[in-house]
């Protein structure tokens, strides 16, 4: 058997400082490859951090907006419950005008106005509907009323008072809406 002149059996020993590699094993990783991989990983972590910070900032803004809205409309449930009693007080004042002394009626009207001021202080305002165009977001049409004096679709009578809480409708105004009179 002839020896390969270029193959030196002692040259199989690894050179000092070189990594030995055996067949089937991954080639050694150079320090440059390690650095490139570390930079990529750093950039990924930085991107994840920035995304997480942005998501958290958005969450904080949404939570603050929700808390502000909750605080603004917190009185809505109580106000909605009080409106029926408020209407009954108004009806009592109207009924007393015909049969009672002026002092009792004046007292009921004074209490009614005071309650209106308290509700207004908390953002509850009556909806003005009479003479306005019908708005299904603010009005509840109970009846259509033939009327030649007003354009069709105009509120011609309030049958039940409606109220808003800031920009939300607590209770729509019950109204009669004008329609063209029937031709004779």
Look at residue 15 in the predicted model and tell me its pLDDT: 47
Mean pLDDT of the region 47-58: 96
What contacts 74, CB < 8 A, 6 or more positions away? none
Q: Per the structure block, which two tokens stand in for 180?
A: 């063209």
pLDDT digits (tens, 9 = 90+) for 18-43: 455 556 666 666 778 889 999 999 99
**Percent of the chain whose predicted confidence (pLDDT) is above 90:** 45
Average pLDDT over residues 116-137: 92
The CA dihedral of 52, 55, 59, 61, to the nearest 10 degrees, is 120
What pTM was estimated for this model as a whole?
Answer: 0.64
Name the residue with higher pLDDT: 181 or 140.
140
Q: Pick 180 or 50 by higher pLDDT.
A: 50
Q: What is the mean pLDDT of the chain?
A: 84
DSSP letter string, 53-87: HHHHHHHHHHHHHHHHHHHHTTTHHHHHHHHHHHH
- Does the 76-179 domain belong in CATH 2.30.22.10? yes
Query: By mean pLDDT, which of 57-61, 67-71, 88-92 is the weakest?
Result: 88-92
From 8-17, 77-86, 168-177, the region with the lowest mean pLDDT: 8-17
The domain limits of the chain are 31-72, 76-179
CA distance 14 to 31: 19
CA distances from 33 to 3, 17, 20, 30 (A): 38, 18, 18, 5
Taking residues 85-93, report their average pLDDT: 85
- Asked which of 16-20, 66-70, 84-88 is least confident by mean pLDDT, the reply is 16-20
The yes-or-no verdict on residue 5 having pLDDT over 90 is: no
pLDDT for 131 beyond 60:
yes
């Amino acid at each position: 058997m002839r020896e390969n002149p270029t193959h030196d059996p002692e040259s199989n020993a690894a050179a000092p400082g070189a990594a030995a590699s055996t067949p089937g094993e991954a080639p050694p990783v150079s320090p440059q490859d390690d650095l490139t991989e570390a930079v990529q990983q750093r950039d990924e972590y930085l991107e994840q951090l920035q995304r997480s910070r942005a998501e958290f900032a958005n969450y904080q803004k949404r939570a603050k907006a929700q808390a502000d809205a909750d605080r603004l409309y917190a009185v809505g449930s109580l106000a909605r419950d009080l409106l029926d009693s408020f209407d009954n007080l108004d009806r009592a004042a109207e009924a007393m005008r015909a049969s009672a002394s002026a002092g009792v009626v004046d007292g009921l009207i004074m209490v009614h106005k005071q309650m209106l001021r308290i509700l207004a202080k908390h953002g509850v305002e009556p909806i003005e509907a009479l003479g306005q165009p019908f708005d299904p977001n603010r009005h509840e049409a109970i009846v259509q009323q033939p009327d030649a004096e007003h354009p069709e679709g105009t509120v011609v009578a309030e049958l039940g008072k409606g109220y808003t809480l800031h920009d939300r409708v607590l209770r729509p105004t019950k109204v009669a809406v004008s329609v063209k009179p029937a031709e004779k």
